[in-house]
Amino acid sequence: MLYPQRLGQFTREHTDTVAALLCGFLLFLGWFALHLGWLGLAFLLLLAAYVIGGYESAREGLTTLFKEKELDVDLLMIVAAIGAASLGLWRREYHLIIDGAILILIFAISGALEGYAMARTERSIRSLMKLTPDTARVLIQGREEEIPISQLKVGDEIVVKPGELIPTDGIILSGYSTLNQAAITGESLPVEKTVGAEVFAGTLNGYGALQVKVHKPAQSSLIVRVIRLVEQAQTEAPPSQQFIDRFEKGYAKIIVVAGILLATLPPFLWGWDWETTIYRALTFLVVASPCALMAAIMPTLLSGIANGARQGILFKNGAQLEKIGKVRAIAFDKTGTLTTGQVQVFQVIAVSEYTSKDVLKAAASVESYSEHPIGKAIVQAAGDLDWVGAIQVQAIPGQGIVGTFQEQQIIVGNAVFVQQYVTNLPEELREMAQSWEQEGKTVVWVAQGAEVMGVIAIADEVRSQAAATITRLKKLGVEQIVMLTGDNQETAHSVAKAVGIDRVYAQLLPEDKLDVIRRLQQQYQTVAMVGDGINDAPALAQASVGIAMGVSGSDVALETADIVLMADRLEKIAVAIHLGRRSQLIVKQNIVVALGFIMLLLVGNFLGNINLPIGVIGHEGSTVLVTLSGLRLLK
């Protein structure tokens, strides 16, 4: 089964690209053979270019015509190309066949670019599905039995061992552990959970074994809902795309109807002969072909994409380059986006008879035996100090750790735990600890014997460029900047204050973030979302522009997002907005030029002052002109 799926994926993603490349190659060979006078070979090569490059457009155009009773630009292009080729054969002006092939090639390239964009949804869904195991250990009459996730029922009891992924949502019946929920909620620190707490599929179990009761069907788990939300948000056509589709169909109708009228009425109205009439009608189809309009947009956007790539900004398609220039509101995830996502020692305060180094060495001596992220942060902070590991170390889950260091008992943990060993907590340290906790930091107390040595503040580091980025975005005229996070209110407001964000939404699940994005879109229309985790994927997909962190971002976030910051440099968001606004300006200029040329050529054709070669030169000349104009964004 796997091979056909992969073959199907290859066909969907690469067929259009292969067709465009073959069309261009055959067009070049046909042009070369034509100039050498090898007419038979030239005709065969150009016919192959027409068929290979125009097949998909002809199929879509005819399908739209017969099934939806609508005309579109695909069909118009085919008619114009065939008309140019027919007229070229009729009047022995073979360069017109080349012009028709060029029209087909332009549309083939456009179709290839669209094909790659369409494949993102499937890749995102496949990446999401990797987050949950295929099987679960179910307790059946006291014995463990592995069964597929799809066979789990509400009420089943499953066993999750240390280091394993939670297979489905459930309630803990027995056991105690820390769970890394960053993939789902975005919380920067593992969360301690025990009997009665809810666990989510796709989260990573820590050091303790858990017995979990399934309380909802597997297909209703949080991670499955994330998958559905990503799929739904990515398949919803934005208003701008709907407008383009309507414009394309309307334009095609007008041109085709006008072409038919021009090919039939002049002999009766103005006494034209039929040869002149058909000649003018075909010229009309060629000069009215929207190639210049198409070239007014794509070269500009591709140039902007190349410019962004040189600066570490990956635009996944040209539409997002346009949209980022229209952004009026931006939502930032906290953990891993505004912060580094790595906890570290923020500050150490010692009582008078000790130094901060003494506190760090004592804490590191016992925490070196811990796998907890806080313990690792303390050990890392004490890395350059002279210390050795403690002995007789004992960890008390959710509270702290005790050991013997330099023949003294060392106690490290929260305030309640340390108070079991010391007579009292110094008032000045208690006030400082409360202040840190209000700022969202984690406070670790360190004691030696019955005396408190000091306190250590642990925090997720705010990115150095975050505050400057927020200031720059405000200067660019972004009307609303908000922060979305699964963390608690205190931590969220602390980070928001540090970077200059006024509006905060905390303690959010993935679907909550999606709801916030939708509300912002109702008010501001074009909204960007910046995130890095799996929990951000639905919001990234729903946002007008999804922006992912390239280094710290999860695979799903990278696949779902429209723009990727390759080096996690937040300041590049302002650069992307500037590129987007420049692209909009250039596109508008190019559209004016393209429409101006079309109108001039149409007027000239109606007045009978241009022949087909002049019409083709004007048509192709306007295409080249707006293409060169679009290349300005390469600078």
pLDDT value at position 410?
93
Confidence category of residue 126, pLDDT binned at 50, 70, 90: low
Q: CB atoms < 10 A from the CB of 592, how many?
A: 12
pLDDT value at position 358?
92
Query: Are the beta carbons of 183 and 486 closer than 8 angstroms?
Result: no
Q: CB atoms < 10 A from the CB of 130, how many?
A: 11
pLDDT (average), residues 3-13:
41
pLDDT value at position 131?
67
Q: How far apart are CA 482 and CA 236, in angstroms?
A: 24
Question: What are the pLDDT digits (tens) for 253-302?
Answer: 787 788 888 888 888 888 887 767 877 787 787 777 776 776 777 777 77
One-letter identity of residue 269: L
Question: What are the pLDDT digits (tens) for 411-431?
Answer: 999 888 999 999 888 888 999
One-letter identity of residue 459: A
One-letter identity of residue 540: L
pLDDT (average), residues 238-264:
70
SS (H, E, C) 54-95: HHHHHHHHHHHHHHCCCCCHHHHHHHHHHHHHHHHHHHCCCH
Q: How confident is the prediction for the chain on average, in pLDDT?
A: 81
Q: How far apart are CA 107 and CA 305, in angstroms?
A: 20
234 pLDDT higher than 60:
no
Question: What are the pLDDT digits (tens) for 302-361?
Answer: 778 778 877 778 787 777 888 899 999 999 988 788 888 778 898 999 998 899 999 999
Angstrom CA distances, 382 to 284, 345, 388, stand at: 78, 10, 11
pLDDT (average), residues 359-366:
93
Angstrom CA distances, 549 to 47, 529, 565, 569, 571, stand at: 47, 11, 5, 8, 12
Give the residues across from 548 on adjacent strands. 531, 564
Strand order in the sheet with 339-350: 339-350, 451-462, 442-448, 408-413, 400-405, 391-396
Q: What b/e sequence results for 501-528 when a residue is b if at least 16 CB atoms lie within 10 Å of its CB, and e otherwise?
A: beebbbebbbebbbebbeebbeebebbb
Concatenated DSSP letters for 180-248? E-TTTT--SS-EEE-TT-EE-TTPEE-SS-EEEEE-S-GGGSHHHHHHHHHHHHHHSPPHHHHHHHHHH
For the segment(s) 289-328+464-635, the CATH number from 3.40.50.1000, 1.10.287.3510, 3.90.1150.10, 3.40.630.40 is 3.40.50.1000
pLDDT value at position 309?
74
Confidence category of residue 530, pLDDT binned at 50, 70, 90: very high
448 or 280, higher pLDDT: 448
634 pLDDT higher than 50:
yes
What is residue 327's three-state secondary structure? coil
Helix (H) or strand (E) holding 440: none
Concatenated DSSP letters for 443-507? EEEEEETTEEEEEEEEEEEEPTTHHHHHHHHHHTT--EEEEE-SS-HHHHHHHHHHHT--EEE-S
Q: Considering only CA atoms, which of 222, 182, 178, 183 is closest in space to residue 197?
A: 178
Q: How far apart are CA 219 and CA 447, in angstroms?
A: 48
Q: Domain ranges for the chain, please list them.
A: 133-230, 289-328+464-635, 341-461
Could you tell me whether strands 563-565 and 545-549 are parallel, antiparallel, or unpaired per DSSP bridges? parallel
Structure-token pair, residue 96:
């017109």
Which residue among 72, 99, 333, 487 is the active-site one? Answer: 333
74 or 377, higher pLDDT: 377
Q: What b/e sequence results for 299-328 when a residue is b if at least 16 CB atoms lie within 10 Å of its CB, and e otherwise?
A: bbbbbbbebbeeeebbbbbbbbbbbbbbbb
What is residue 565's three-state secondary structure? strand
pLDDT (average), residues 358-377:
88
**Distance, CA of 438 to chain centre:** 34
Residue 333 catalytic?
yes
Q: How far apart are CA 371 and CA 369, in angstroms?
A: 7
pLDDT value at position 515?
92
404 pLDDT higher than 60:
yes
* CATH fold group of domain 341-461: Calcium-transporting ATPase, cytoplasmic domain N (3.40.1110)
Strand order in the sheet with 191-193: 191-193, 177-180, 204-205
Q: Considering only CA atoms, which of 342, 316, 220, 200 is closest in space to residue 557?
A: 316
Confidence category of residue 13, pLDDT binned at 50, 70, 90: low
pLDDT value at position 359?
94
pLDDT value at position 483?
94
Give the residues across from 313 on adjacent strands. 565
pLDDT value at position 121?
43
pLDDT (average), residues 509-515:
87
Sequence-distant (6+) residues with CB within 8 A of 450 are 421, 422, 423
pLDDT (average), residues 125-129:
57
Phi, psi of 576 (to 5 degrees): -65, -40
For the segment(s) 133-230, the CATH number from 3.30.465.10, 2.170.190.11, 2.70.150.10, 3.40.1280.10 is 2.70.150.10
pLDDT value at position 111?
64
Structure-token pair, residue 54:
């125009």
Q: Considering only CA atoms, which of 443, 419, 413, 422 is closest in space to residue 431?
A: 443
